[in-house]
Amino acid sequence: MTANGWPKVPLDKIVMPVQRPEEPVTGKVYRQIGVRLWGEGAYERDSIDGSQTQYKTLSRVKADDIIVNKIWARNGSVAVVSKDLAGCYASTEFPLFAPISEKLLPRWFHWFTKTKGFWQQCDEKSRGTSGKNRIRPDQFVKVEIPLPPLTEQHRIVARIEELAAKIEEARGLREQAVEEAEALWGAFAAQILRELGEIQRKRMSDICEIRGGLQKSPARLPRDNPTAYITVAHVQRNRIDMSVPPRFFEVSPAELERWRLKFGDLLIIEGNGSADQIGRVALFRDEIENCVHQNHVIRARPNRSVAAPEYLNVYLNSPLGQDEVQRRSRTTSGLRTLSVGRISEIEVPLPTLDEQRRIVAYLDELQAKVDAVKRLQAETSAELNALLPSVLDRAFKGEL
């Protein structure tokens, strides 16, 4: 019994197990359903032919079914099936239950699956049931849920969804603010570079030493000289992502001397399935000591007597520079690629070093403001993320 007098009811009193088994047929396509962790809901997986499953039967799901992932229910992998997923199929690892409509509103249970209290109950009832801590259907239905009358379930669900919509709207506005700030930086960068007019342009190969990276292979398994290397994941636009742990492979002392990255090197992604990510560039600032780069990352080392590394980084990440990158890239099997040769052909407007530094200083100041907006967004995002759990806690205590 809750503080406000609602009974806590085990699920076996308000749901019924359902089975709609079908034997898979070769030549028939089956839409598959999966369930995300931590109450994030069900989703449609890749479809399969009937010949591609090891299961003797598959169960067809209907809208408002409760679907349970036996293995990961303890991590919140339980959901209510939405209308757009009706007609998908689940394996026997995903038992199904139907709410008794006179007692349980499906959306009431949908929101309950997003609570820590529900996840904790699933975890407790999964322990020791098998080597993988699967939850058995007979244990799942012992989970208890606060159950007000249907009219009250409807009222509270409507209030939850009203507040959830406002939270999502606020999150969207904050993300939009970051996107607009980043777009503003790009617009100013493009304007400044266009104002350079008919200034001389130099090919990258004339102002940089350009080199591919080292290829990972079984022969490079770390042994005597394990060396950190930069991967594609490290090279984000305009920055090295240090949240990605460094990886290591074997590099001889002579190779390290030849390929070691230096402060001011430009790192350029040579291939990506996404057109807007191909050729993204980061300036290496000694984030990792004695570091090399893998073969999917191309290094450009500027001649500092004519080109400031920071200026080249600004140009290549600007809309004008990215247009050049796109024009030079090629598509092979859906993957857009660059090469040392194509990067060498990119032409860069090259003012004096003093002018390059002035442009960089101005855009760095603007970038600092963009970064401030991002930090604010991250802080408010954390606050927003805490709002929905608070709303749900109040809702299932009868305080909403």
Is the sign of the CA dihedral 114, 115, 116, 119 positive or negative? negative
pLDDT for 174:
81
pLDDT for 217:
86
Query: What CATH class is the domain 8-147?
Result: alpha beta
User: Which residue numbers in the chain have pLDDT < 50?
Assistant: none
DSSP one-letter string for 99-153: E-TTT--HHHHHHHTTSHHHHHHHHHHHTTSSTT-PPPHHHHTT-EEE---HHHH
pLDDT for 93:
94
Assign 304 to helix, strand or coil: coil
pLDDT for 332:
64
pLDDT tens string 97-142: 999 999 999 999 999 999 999 999 999 999 765 556 789 999 999 9
pLDDT for 272:
60
Assign 381 to helix, strand or coil: helix
The structural architecture, per CATH, of the domain 200-350 is Alpha-Beta Complex (3.90)
DSSP one-letter string for 341-371: HHHHH-EEE---HHHHHHHHHHHHHHHHHHH
pLDDT for 246:
83
DSSP one-letter string for 153-212: HHHHHHHHHHHHHHHHHHHHHHHHHHHHHHHHHHHHHHHHHHTTTT--EEEHHHHEEEE-
State phi, psi for 163 to the nearest 5 degrees.
-70, -40
pLDDT for 133:
78
pLDDT for 292:
93
What are the boundaries of each domain within the chain? 8-147, 150-189+352-400, 200-350
pLDDT for 135:
93
Residues composing the chain: 400
pLDDT for 366:
87
pLDDT for 274:
61
Same fold, 8-147 and 200-350: yes
pLDDT for 30:
95
User: What's the angle, vertex CA 80, arms to CA 74 and CA 83, rounded to 5?
Assistant: 150
pLDDT for 42:
96
pLDDT tens string 54-109: 999 999 999 999 999 999 999 999 999 999 999 999 999 999 999 999 999 999 99
What is the rounded distance in angstroms from the CA atom of residue 285 to the CA atom of residue 56?
Answer: 57
